Chain A
Amino acid sequence: MPSRTPSEARAALGDPASVGLGFVPLGVASGVLVVHAGVDWWWASLSSALIYGGSFEFPLIGMATAALPLASVAVSAFLVNVRHVFSALSFPLHRVEGPPGKAYGTFALCDEACALTAGEQARSWSGRRIRWLRLLLHLYWAGGSTAGALLGSLIPEGVTGLDFALTALFAVLALDAVRDRRGDLPTLPLALLSALTARLLFPGGLLPAAFALFTAGLLIRRLATRESPGHA
């Protein structure tokens, strides 16, 4: 860190610049998909503000318009989002003060905020700065989605493939994670292997199966590396 900025809000504005600005086209894409599915624009705002999880908002558009039973929606939401139980372990909630702050902290726990706050440079961030970071990410997301839904009718129906924005965002964050964890290469092939195994063996429950395999793999690796160099 070369200099200290006077305002934590301004510092937070810089933190998510890369990820946050990636949120805007992604939110726009989800908003466009909502209106192209024949749903009113405000539903995109509601969905992005309340669910705040792109990995489920994209599939929910199809489920809601197909009028799937609520129980199936709930089960799908569970399967797609159960990873938060794992990723939340890394979030420094103890640095965010007060019950409202903590409640919002858990609500706004998206993968990207986790990836940002789990990075090396985030160890020194204060609770206020983390809170600003998440609020801005949330605003970028909901704002982008609303804009996309309002402008979506201008985009011809024949234009498809906007949902790739989500894949691209995860790919970018994965590349940044590879760079961050250069000293720890086995983690990423382990994740890839877990995901591909889950895709082959449990195509219907890819996410939970992949996370279970990945976590089990990490635990095995920890046991193996802890015992080999010396006494336990």
Chain B
Amino acid sequence: MPDTTCLVVAVLVSAAVTWALRVLPFAVVGPLRASPTVQYLSTRIPAGIMVILVVYCLRDTPLTRTAGLSPAAALAVTVGVHLRRRNAPLSILAGTAAHVALASTVFAHRGP
């Protein structure tokens, strides 16, 4: 296990970078908010970002090996439960439980 100072500094550096990125738009782009183009973007970007983040989370899923079946099945469970019940905590729990069950048993890593 790496030493504690390194771990804490890694958090501080990450937190500083993250916050800087969150402040930047208000410091720099603030005056542009009245622009219709910025408003056009701002109503569409949050929705698109969620789609991009799903792809980002699944970016390392192997498409050609059976290990890829576990996230695919879990995503199908999440989407299926959510379309039926519209209950976010339930959908997340169901999808995660499906993934943990499959990844820990049927598709568990054996060896490197």
Contact with A160, one of B10, B15, B88, B103 (Cβ below 8 angstroms): B103
Query: Are B44 and A85 in contact, CB atoms less than 8 angstroms apart?
Result: no
Contact with B93, one of A25, A174, A187, A214 (Cβ below 8 angstroms): A25
Chain A 143-167 interface mask (CB, 8 Å, partner B; 1/0)? 0000000000000001111101111
Size range of the chain A interface in the assembly = 35 or more
The majority secondary structure among interface residues of chain B is: helix
Query: Are A53 and B18 in contact, CB atoms less than 8 angstroms apart?
Result: yes
Within 8 A of B (CB), among A210-224: 210-211, 214-215, 218-219, 222
Is B48 positioned at the interface, with any CB of A under 8 Å from its CB? yes
Query: Are B14 and A168 in contact, CB atoms less than 8 angstroms apart?
Result: no
Query: Are A90 and B42 in contact, CB atoms less than 8 angstroms apart?
Result: yes
Query: Are A194 and B102 in contact, CB atoms less than 8 angstroms apart?
Result: no
**What distance in Å separates the Cβ of A136 from its nearest Cβ neighbour in chain B?**
14
The residue of chain A having its C-beta at the shortest distance from the C-beta of B70 within the complex is A161
Contact with A206, one of B12, B26, B59 (Cβ below 8 angstroms): B59
- Given A77-B13, A77-B17, A90-B42, do A187 and B47 touch, yes or no (CB 8 Å)? yes
Within 8 A of A (CB), among B10-53: 10-15, 17-19, 21-26, 29, 33, 37-38, 40-53
Residue numbers in A under 8 Å from B109 (CB-CB): 160
Contact with A184, one of B12, B44, B57, B75 (Cβ below 8 angstroms): B44
Q: Looking at the complex, which of A2-10, A58-66, A124-132 is the stretch in contact with chain B?
A: A58-66
Size range of the chain B interface in the assembly = 35 or more
The residue of chain A having its C-beta at the shortest distance from the C-beta of B10 within the complex is A64
The residue of chain B having its C-beta at the shortest distance from the C-beta of A174 within the complex is B50
Q: Which residues of A contact B (CB under 8 A)?
A: 18-19, 21-22, 24-26, 29, 38-40, 43, 46-47, 50-53, 55-56, 60, 63-67, 70, 73-74, 77-78, 81-90, 93-94, 102, 106-107, 109, 111, 114-115, 118, 158-162, 164-178, 180-181, 184, 187-188, 190-192, 194-196, 199, 203, 206-207, 210-211, 214-215, 218-219, 222
- Given A18-B87, A39-B7, A87-B46, do A159 and B96 touch, yes or no (CB 8 Å)? no
**What distance in Å separates the Cβ of B22 from its nearest Cβ neighbour in chain A?**
4
Residue numbers in B under 8 Å from A109 (CB-CB): 22
The 5 A-B pairs with the shortest beta carbon distances in the complex, nearest first, are A161-B103, A191-B48, A177-B47, A195-B55, A164-B99
Query: Are B89 and A118 in contact, CB atoms less than 8 angstroms apart?
Result: no
Query: Are B96 and A111 in contact, CB atoms less than 8 angstroms apart?
Result: no
Q: Can you spell out 28 A-B residue pairs with CB atoms less than 8 angstroms apart? A: A22-B88, A22-B89, A46-B8, A46-B11, A51-B14, A51-B15, A60-B10, A60-B14, A67-B6, A81-B18, A81-B21, A83-B49, A85-B25, A86-B45, A87-B49, A89-B25, A89-B33, A89-B41, A106-B26, A111-B50, A167-B71, A167-B95, A171-B78, A171-B82, A172-B78, A174-B53, A199-B59, A206-B59
